[in-house]
């Protein structure tokens, strides 16, 4: 379990960063009922892996996916894109 808050912007300022190793699941919307309606799990891994996977998809397919992060935090495509842009995202640390 992560020591960090389960929400992206929660906690006091300067309270650490994102725990990129948190468990996460990639989900796809089923039957057009909204992003989190009848989620189907596509794959599991770390938060960083799931963000990178979504961002590797063509732009026109990304909106069909969301991530369920450890602690029951659901991330929409806007939040996923914001995480991808962060300077501390593991894929950008090379």
Q: Which residue has the higher pLDDT, 36 or 64?
A: 64
pTM of the full structure: 0.74
Q: Answer whether residue 39 shows pLDDT above 80.
A: no
Q: Region 35-63: what's the mean pLDDT?
A: 87
Least confident range of 38-47, 48-57, 81-90: 38-47
Per the CB < 8 A criterion, the answer to whether 90 and 20 are in contact is yes
Angle at 75 between CA 91 and CA 33, to 5 degrees: 130
């Amino acid at each position: 379990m992560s020591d960090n808050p389960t929400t992206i912007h929660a906690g006091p300022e300067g309270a650490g960063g994102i725990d990129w190793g948190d468990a996460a699941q990639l989900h796809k919307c089923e039957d057009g009922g909204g992003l989190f309606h009848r989620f189907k799990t596509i794959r599991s891994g770390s938060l960083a892996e799931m963000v990178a996977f979504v961002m590797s998809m063509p732009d026109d397919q990304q909106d069909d996916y969301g991530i369920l992060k450890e602690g029951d935090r659901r991330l929409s495509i806007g939040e996923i894109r914001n995480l991808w842009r962060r300077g501390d995202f593991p894929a950008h640390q090379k």
